[in-house]
Structure 1
Amino acid sequence: MSSEALASNHNQDVNSSFSYEDNWYIYEPMGELDDMNRDAISACLPTVPFDLYHVCMAPVSLMVLLVLSLLIKRKRLYKHCLDGAPGLLSPVHFLEEEGIKGVTVAVFGILFSSLCMLVLDANPLPFVSSSSSHSREYWKIMALLYYPAFYYPLIACATVQHRIGYFFGCLLSWCHCVVHIWQKVECPESPKIYRYYSLLSSVPIILCLVVLSLWYPAQLVKNFRRKEKMAEEVLGNGFYKEYLKNILAKRPPEGNAGKGKPGVFSRLQSYLHSYIYTPQEGFRIPLKLVLSLAMAVIAVYQVALLLLVTFVPNIQIVRSGMTMDVTALLVQFGLIPMENPASLPGDKELATAKHYVWALEVCFVSSLVVSCLLTFSMLMRSLVRHRINLQRLYRGAVVDVFYRPRKLQPSQQALVCWMCFTGFQAAFTCLGLLIQQLVFFICAVAFTFLVVIPLQSGTNMYLFKIAENMWPFWLTLVASVIVQNFLTHYFFLEKGHLPRELTNRRALYIVTYLLFPLNVLVGVLAGVWRMVVSALYNVVHFCQLDVSLLSHGAEAFDPGYRTYCYYLKIEVSQSHPAMKAFCLLLLQSQSPQGPKGQQPSDIEEGVMLMNQPASKASHRKQNCARWWLAYTLLNNPSLLPYRKAVLLNAAANGMQTSPVKP
């Protein structure tokens, strides 16, 4: 047969293989639908629909909040607020309360997971069943205000710390938990994104509701077991005493003798301890930091789940639908090598194409796992750094934290940043994980298709060919660096003197001039390496608010680090353990009932007592109180600005008040 006939037969075969009506894989029947195809899942209607659940639970939550406001008098919390009239219950005492961290994390976890789900929902507001694309954004804004109000009673019942609040908390938590579990049992699959995405994204909500469903009954039973009404305990009281005992304890002098250079094992251990948070005696993490870390962990879970269910099922569908026609198209673009270019693609080329798609899937999953692990490690390191910074500020070492003198006083900007800190931490964690996933996925794909696959198959070795052709250039650069280090070590530095001096200066000048062109090329490579290292450093540390991604002079332009600095100001100025302990000592001296009759909110009243005339006491007790106050202020210089305002009245510590000037 002639070559023209072979070419015509080959063209006919190729044209027939690329026929859109017969052989194009999109129009071919796929047989049974894939298990991960979302079109195969029909909409499921549970017994208690989502809209009905909110229609019933929203009025119930509102009634519970009103009843608690009417029954729990505000007079014992705020004596001068509307003469004890009922008011809106406080959700969390972020600066004063430390006893319900688990409940606070659970309610915020429910709220944050609900907000993550409504972002991708076609109907973000439960009461609106069908919304157009034009009005959907407005309903999302309304949903951002509705969900915090909807879950408000769940946390307000715990803040009351009364048996009535615990009873209503039991009812609300049980209702929410039963309805959520019932809906997921009846309808575990949904056609949105992936059949099990709705179920998996609801796991944090169900876990948090289970925690609340167990905590409220336990507190209610604990309350009823007591004969008298349970007095509210100040859990921070023990913490403040431990803090004072820790800073006032006599420590044995540390001997420097016998201490040599730390070994490799000790340095490795100290490095691992910087990434692992362990409880420390005399210190307790503030509620805001615990809440921020928990929301960051939930954010990592939600974002990683969304990335996983968006990419992996679709790439598996593409891999299972690969045909000879798609393989031929990839061969024509040169993406898949062929042993015999004159023949048509066969089973070997199809297997190669599927192997490439599988490599993409492996790269995506591997990069996602690495991103999640790095984010978790950075969050743990951030928690360790939080403790170090707080301890430094507690003892007045402001320069060690902020690198310049700053006043630890509340301000408008500081208070706004304190309120935004938890939200910023969750948002920065989401963005950091997305950026890490994108960067690591690109790097993994480049390494796989430029290094791993060419080494396996022996084809498409473009990177190795470039490196082979440029080996004289790389050898020259490496030789220039080695020569400069060799000459510097043996000829340009004197070894006899302890402070080393320069020698052979004429030769040093000659070598510096001759190697200038080579140093320019080395500088280009060093500049590329600097750009890569700085980009990777910023990507990895993006979720850490305690680390500035800019230099010290430009820290003010980093919104995350600026928010963290102002947060520390508010936290230290308003929740200093020494100040809280001093206020509790004032309350104990004023209250005849002792520490058991104190309220958590009475810690604020201790500050007010400093402005009142001191009770009649012996001269010895007054001197003792003054000595302890002086010792506290000397070891905590950050408290001095607040003491100055008190000394203007001169009524504390038994001092005689001066007549008020007109």
Structure 2
Amino acid sequence: MKCSDCSTYNPCGQYGYCQDHIDGNWECQCKFWWIGTFCNQQSSSGIQVITLSIISGILIIVFHGLSIYFSIRKKRQQTQEEANKINQNDLPNSTLTPMALINIKQSARFSSFSIAILMLIITAAGLTVKWSLLQPIHNELVNKYKRADLLFYERNSICNIIDLEDFNMLTLPVACFFMLIFIIFSKRTSCMKKKLNGHVAPIVPIDFYTHIKRKFAAVVFAIIADELLDIVNQVINGNTSKEEGVIVVYLLRILKVLFIGFRYYPVLSAVYIDSILTLTCAILYAWLDFSVSIVYQGLCQSDFYPSDDNFDETNGTDIVRLFEYYGTGQNLIIIQLFTDIPRYICWSYVIIKLPMLLINKISTTIKHKNKDQFKRLHLTREEKILLHSSAVHSVEMSYVRNLFRPINQRSTSRLFLARLIPKFIYQWRDDFRFSSRILCVYASTCLVLFFITVQACILVVPYLDELQNSIQQLIDQISISSNQQNKQSEFPLPNFVRPYIIAILTALIVTMIQLLILLTNIRRNLFQIFRGDDSEIPKRDKSKYLSYSTGNFHFAGFFIGYLIWGYALIALFALIIYISIDAFITFGSVKFLEKILKLIIPILLLILFKTYLNKLLARYVFLQYHGDILAINNRRVLMIFLYFNFFLDSFLGFISSIIRIIKSIVGGCLYMSRLDYSPMGRKLETLDAGFSAYCGFIHMEAVHRNPIMLVVASYLYSRMKAKQYVTKNLMMMMKNDRKSSKDYSSKVVQKWHLVILLLRNPSLVFLRKHALSQIENKKTKTLNEVNRRQSCIEQTLHRPSLVSEIDLQNMWQKNVN
């Protein structure tokens, strides 16, 4: 049709696109299911789609309405006696609210309040110092930016002392020196105790299967995760020298990771050893490392400002883009300080908590100083941990007590936080505590998520306009090449900033929800393994012990790696969805998306209609008592329905297979951060390395943290230690009261101790008899072996005319037989 250009006149209305032809004519391309020259008529397909959507909506309303009706009816049919029981059970719980408030008042001690105040003061002081160090660098680069000069600053000479090829060489020697002191003064408990008086023993930084200072260890691991993230960024960005080989680069990264571990080793090991010497050294080292970190991050390694050491990596293009987007004011400094808040809070907690631990240790030592050394029972750190399991109020003992109680009679937690969280979300239990390893992993992941989110929002946003233009040009070229007559873009892109920010926040929220669900699943799976339930975690197999051990090694690393990938995939898919939604909102219509929806909507409506029709028939026609009993009702009608449904579902099966693939992709992306979920299914889940690592972690945790095992072992060990304590005191009293200077033989003393031990422990008599009989049998067996060898030698060497003693023995045995 001939008329004016589509840009000046649009006859197609809101349901069509006006398209110009080369010959000067125009044509209306109708949206969705509209037809006609001017796209003003509804097509038969459109009428059918609307009808099917109305029928599907009616089925959904009827199904859920009936479900709500019968559920309300079932609740009303409950007897008054059951309702009274429920009310009686709820009465004691109602008094827990004021008790929880009392507990939170008691738990909010002056020490906790003082720690919080001091943390805020030290954090503010650290941020203020870093502000003063960054301000001159910022002003220098701003002046160079205005002069169009090269944007980099010259690092201070102290950076050469602190930093040597990206290795902090100032705090590392101090850390190694303190570790050497800890090793010298630590005592061995099992290996060569008499040599060097038991000193020079390996030190343990943290016991991941216990509850010793879990919060402190988690905070330290959060600090370590911040530094490890910098290494990951360098690996991803490829900021390496071209002269170095690939293997050398990765070896240097591994070496740097080990150096980071050595830097924080003294802090963790000092808290685990828990002595005055180690805590004093840790305090000095923590303050030194915190001060050096502030100076290093302020003068030597800034997040945004390039120095003369790393200017060649970007040639100043990144800082130019940041100045253009955020301006030359104080915005970049504020962003850096905001990013440093979690890191400085963690450090302030460490440097405050260590002096408090030292003060408590000194006060405890003074209390026990005046006591008689002979009456004190010296225990190692591991012995104290084991003996605590059999205490009355320990977590393990609470678990054992709850085994003999019904679920409705178990005492609920009286913590204020436990009362705030709804039970359908998370039920707090006082008979379970997560191990130190779980808290350390979660503290690290939370801080990693914070830094990734901040960097994704701050560093990427200035490049979104350029990325949008590039993608738009690519889409336009593809659409024009496929349709030469269409000069308009079939997928106009909106501004990327708004959907990008929302996608990043969506990825953060979804990932945090997945982490919380995984935390609850870890507890549930541990409880299942404790009671021998293998419904979710495969049953422990002896042939897979090596796999469990290696999987336990990989758990923390796989957890963080899967988490980052899941976060990135969720952000990518959410960005695509939000861009599509924003395109509809901004432009009103998008041809490409309309074509996709035109294909998808009828299929989805058909599947929705068939699904709810099957649900209605199954619950109210083919099952007895509205689905409460799995028994067939209306058998003949069911057979007829199954006959015709056989052919109908063959058509829907093809569509369902495509949806299955799409669901598996979406589910794999959403559950990428969940190691307890395997997208391969139950039959192939062991092929998933992440799930295998999770199974190994669960089995190792269950073996070493089984509450029943710990309570039994703790009880037996406490009884043994109590007897040793009584015996030691008696022997010391006898030695002090003895006035005669007569020396007895050591063998007599040993036999006397043996008699006392057997009298006090009659059960050991049978064990001693069994051990003595085994020794006697071993001696007899050895003697018989010697006689056999001698007989063999005599048989080969003696003359045939002579009869040896062995021959006479054999002859005598034959005559007797």
1:573 to 703, 721, 726: 703
Partner of 2:153: 43
Partner of 2:534: 399
Aligned-residue offset at 1:142:
2.6
Relative to 1, partners in 2 of residues 1:531 and 1:410: Cα closer, same or farther, differing over 3 Å? closer
1:447 to 581, 600, 610: 581
Distance 1:423 1:473 in 2: 42
Relative to 1, partners in 2 of residues 1:254 and 1:41: Cα closer, same or farther, differing over 3 Å? same
Partner of 1:282: 431
TM-score normalised to the size of structure 1?
Answer: 0.67
Q: How do 1:151-166 and structure 2 match up within 5 A?
A: 151-166=264-279
Distance 1:526 1:446 in 2: 25
Q: Which amino acid aligns with 1:227?
A: I
Aligned-residue offset at 1:207:
3.1
CA contact under 8 A between 1:555 and 1:561: conserved in structure 2? yes
Aligned-residue offset at 1:217:
0.8
Relative to 1, partners in 2 of residues 1:154 and 1:186: Cα closer, same or farther, differing over 3 Å? same
Q: Which amino acid aligns with 2:575?
A: F
Distance 2:771 2:298 in 1: 70
Distance 1:470 1:283 in 2: 48
Q: Which amino acid aligns with 2:358?
A: L
Q: Does 1:223 align with 2:361?
A: yes
Partner of 1:300: 449
Q: Which amino acid aligns with 1:63?
A: F
Distance 2:506 2:360 in 1: 44
Partner of 1:260: none
1:313 to 462, 470, 488: 462
Partner of 1:637: none
CA contact under 8 A between 1:363 and 1:445: conserved in structure 2? yes
Relative to 1, partners in 2 of residues 1:129 and 1:512: Cα closer, same or farther, differing over 3 Å? closer
Q: Which amino acid aligns with 1:579?
A: M
The percentage of counterpart residues that share the same residue type is 14
Q: How do 1:121-136 and structure 2 match up within 5 A?
A: 121=234, 132=243, 134=245, 136=249
CA contact under 8 A between 2:671 and 2:677: conserved in structure 1? yes
Aligned-residue offset at 1:559:
1.0
Q: Does 1:500 align with 2:500?
A: no
Partner of 1:115: 228
Relative to 1, partners in 2 of residues 1:56 and 1:613: Cα closer, same or farther, differing over 3 Å? farther
Q: How do 1:321-360 and structure 2 match up within 5 A?
A: 356-358=493-495, 360=496
| Structure possessing the higher radius of gyration over alpha carbons | 2
Q: Which amino acid aligns with 1:447?
A: I
- State the aligned residue count: 541
CA contact under 8 A between 2:387 and 2:717: conserved in structure 1? no
Q: Does 1:61 align with 2:61?
A: no
Deviates more, 1:412-421 or 1:44-53: 44-53
Aligned-residue offset at 1:180:
2.0
1:369 to 501, 505, 521: 505
CA contact under 8 A between 2:398 and 2:430: conserved in structure 1? no
Distance 1:270 1:286 in 2: 23
Partner of 1:535: 665
Distance 1:504 1:443 in 2: 44
2:400 to 247, 259, 263: 247
Relative to 1, partners in 2 of residues 1:438 and 1:569: Cα closer, same or farther, differing over 3 Å? same
Q: How do 1:185-204 and structure 2 match up within 5 A?
A: 190-191=304-305, 203-204=341-342
Relative to 1, partners in 2 of residues 1:162 and 1:467: Cα closer, same or farther, differing over 3 Å? closer
**SS in structure 2 opposite 1:290?**
helix
Distance 1:659 1:167 in 2: 54
CA contact under 8 A between 1:410 and 1:570: conserved in structure 2? no
Unaligned runs of at least 5 residues, structure 2: 1-141, 307-317, 323-331, 370-377, 410-418, 726-753, 779-817
Distance 1:132 1:376 in 2: 41
Aligned-residue offset at 1:62:
1.5
CA contact under 8 A between 1:166 and 1:220: conserved in structure 2? yes
CA contact under 8 A between 1:421 and 1:567: conserved in structure 2? yes
Deviates more, 1:149-158 or 1:463-472: 463-472
TM-score normalised to the size of structure 2?
Answer: 0.56
**SS in structure 2 opposite 1:49?**
helix
CA contact under 8 A between 1:103 and 1:212: conserved in structure 2? yes
Q: Which amino acid aligns with 1:554?
A: L
Q: Which amino acid aligns with 1:113?
A: D
Unaligned runs of at least 5 residues, structure 1: 1-31, 257-268, 596-611, 623-646
Aligned-residue offset at 1:117:
0.6
Q: Does 1:551 align with 2:681?
A: yes
Distance 1:564 1:123 in 2: 26
Aligned-residue offset at 1:175:
0.9
Aligned-residue offset at 1:284:
1.5
What's the C-alpha RMSD, in Å, of the aligned pairs? 5.0
Distance 1:425 1:476 in 2: 40
Distance 1:207 1:473 in 2: 54
2:283 to 158, 170, 191: 170
Partner of 1:104: 217
Q: Which amino acid aligns with 1:391?
A: F
Q: Which amino acid aligns with 1:368?
A: I
Aligned-residue offset at 1:109:
2.3
CA contact under 8 A between 1:237 and 1:584: conserved in structure 2? yes
Relative to 1, partners in 2 of residues 1:417 and 1:166: Cα closer, same or farther, differing over 3 Å? same
Aligned-residue offset at 1:558:
1.0
Q: How do 1:481-496 and structure 2 match up within 5 A?
A: none
Deviates more, 1:114-123 or 1:326-335: 326-335
Q: Does 1:143 align with 2:256?
A: yes
